[in-house]
Chain A
Amino acid sequence: MSISVGVVSFPGSNCEADVIEAIDTVSGANADILWHGDQSIGNFEAIVLPGGFAHGDYLRPGAIARFSPVMEAISAFAAAGGPVLGICNGFQVLTEAGLLPGALQKNAGLKFICGPTDLVVASTSSVLTRTATVGDVLTVPINHFEGNFTCSPETLAELEANDQVILRYASNPNGSVADIAGIANAAGNVVGLMPHPERACHALLGSVDGQVLLTGFVSGGAEK
């Protein structure tokens, strides 16, 4: 089944074309740009917030983007169970918008880091990981300065208890609490991760391990 995917373009986003290309490559789903200034998400059946530097990352990554007009429509869509995926800067936007818990701080070590990382699938209770297998190791690139996931001990306990930690780093590159690379909301339909699955969808890119994630995401419908 193929669905229509809206990939949000904020001023400063820079991965939207990669995401559209990857979704097209892995699934043949119809993916297209959704402008951040739109008041509605139109007929899109799934939403991706791509990587980049939305609104220049001024103040904090995602702090201004969460006020972009389209975010209100995306929040309503998410509340109704619609699939929403935030990749890298998109993950930061989702936490700032309150659609996912926690926050992304500067990397431990205060260095920008970029390279392939091994991710361990920790839960399949999300729209991103539903076709993966717990324990699978996926090699997917990271590319960030502020990817150090943090949250209160209470929130972390909730995330763990509800199976909301979906991906963990095999070797923690940025100081994230509990090696967290990606999380989902309680319903499993809103997901965020720092690594870039769209950059691991073709053998020429060195890995095809992102395919299982994007394939799951576009396979339609909400989770749980």
Chain B
Amino acid sequence: MRVGKSMRFTIEAASAEVARQQAEDMCTRFLTNPVIEDATVTVGAS
């Protein structure tokens, strides 16, 4: 069984790549515990 959460952020950044990096940082340092959880980041339309 898998249980998940979906979180949506609005990030102001110089580029989509910078925004992705910020979101990935938040995922690995805070929003998920890498020992027990996985995260995938998708950058939507700006």
Q: Are A60's CB and B35's CB within 8 A?
A: no
Residue of A with least CB distance to B30: A63
Contact call B31/A59, Cβ cutoff below 8 A: yes
Beta-carbon contact of A63 and B35 below 8 Å:
no
Q: Give Cα distance in the complex from A46 to B42, angstroms.
A: 44
Residues of A within 8 A of B31 (CB): 59
- State whether A63 touches B33 (Cβ < 8 A): yes
Query: Contact between B36 and A103 (Cβ–Cβ < 8 Å)?
Result: yes
CA distance A53 to B30 in the complex (A): 17
B35: which A residues are within 8 A, CB to CB?
95, 101-103, 150-152
Interfacial chain B residues near A103, Cβ < 8 Å: 33, 35-36
Min distance, Cβ A75 to any Cβ of chain B, angstroms: 14
Query: How long is the Cα–Cα vector from A150 to B31 in the complex, in angstroms?
Result: 19
CA distance A67 to B33 in the complex (A): 14
Question: Considering the chains assembled together, what is the distance between the CA atoms of A159 and B33 in angstroms?
Answer: 19
**B33-A96 in contact (CB<8A):** yes
CA distance A206 to B33 in the complex (A): 37
CB distance from B46 to the nearest CB of A (A): 27
Kindly list chain A residues whose C-beta atoms are within 8 Å of the C-beta of B30: 59, 63, 67
A105 at the interface (CB under 8 A from B): yes
CB-based nearest A residue for B5: A59
Tell me the bound Cα distance from A63 to B28 in angstroms: 11
Nearest CB of A to B45, in Å? 27
Interface residues of A, Cβ cutoff 8 Å to B: 59-60, 63, 67, 95-96, 101-103, 105, 150-152
Given contacts A63-B33, A103-B33, 16 further A-B contacts (CB under 8 A): A59-B30, A59-B31, A60-B33, A63-B30, A67-B30, A95-B35, A96-B33, A101-B35, A102-B35, A103-B35, A103-B36, A105-B36, A150-B35, A150-B36, A151-B35, A152-B35
